[in-house]
Amino acid sequence: MPRLDDHPWSGPCAKGAKHRSHLRASARGLEAKVGEMITSSVSGPSPLVAHSARDADPAHGPGSAAVGGHGSSGHITSWHHHLVQRSLVLFSVGVVLALVLNLLQVQRNVTLFPEEVIATIFSSAWWVPPCCGTAAAVVGLLYPCIDSRLGEPHKFKREWASVMRCVAVFVGINHASAKLDFANNVQLSLTLAALSLGLWWTFDRSRSGLGLGITIAFLATVITQLLVYNGVYQYTSPDFLYIRSWLPCIFFSGGVTVGNIGRQLAMGVPEKPHSD
């Protein structure tokens, strides 16, 4: 009996079935490729997308360098502006203290200036206030700078009320040097030395403050000795070469006082920018 496969009409059906199966296989392959492409696109962006994202990011754009440079320039300008302001304030403080304290010394005949260099204002030599103002500016800027270099910021009694009390104690020490009467200058020097150390302990207590105070007292004493030796002015009853033995105590307490003012002025000031 003949089979169905032997009939001529069976050939086109078989070919159509094969063609449909081939189409289904192609569709499945295309679907797999599309799935792979989608998976790769989700797992990681293409280099073109990443490049375009970098171009769109303002932090990596061409203007980022300009923005950074502008910010650095503004920071430097702000730092210099604060430095000038602090210098002017410290200079003014030094001038006022020199006029007031030197007036007391001259009136008590502790310090004697030649008549040809005496000015009419406060009976003092004209060069004393500018020199004291310059010294105050240098010392007041030096104290916070040394604190920053040593990595030991001064945090003891950081308020203006404490600074004003320190100034009052310093004026009192200077007043005592002219007003108090002791049997000899040695006793007065020991008393003022104790008061000066007490001022440091009460309002400073930092190693940098103690070291700078001693250094300032030494350098100022040497300069004063040279001025007196050259006849610029003189002290009555000198007992420490050409000057009074208590003068280093005044310089020490003055350095600590001006240093505290400089530290207080430096609070909130931006740090010095580092050049690359």
Render pLDDT for 192-244 as a digit per residue (tens, 0 to 9).
Answer: 999 999 999 999 989 889 999 999 999 999 999 999 998 888 888 788 888 88
Report pLDDT for 21: 59
* CA nearest to 132, candidates 89, 169, 97: 97
- Read off the pTM: 0.67
Residue 275 phi/psi, 5-degree rounding, is: -80, 135
Average pLDDT over residues 6-24: 51
What are the domain boundaries of the chain?
84-268
* CA nearest to 175, candidates 191, 187, 159: 191
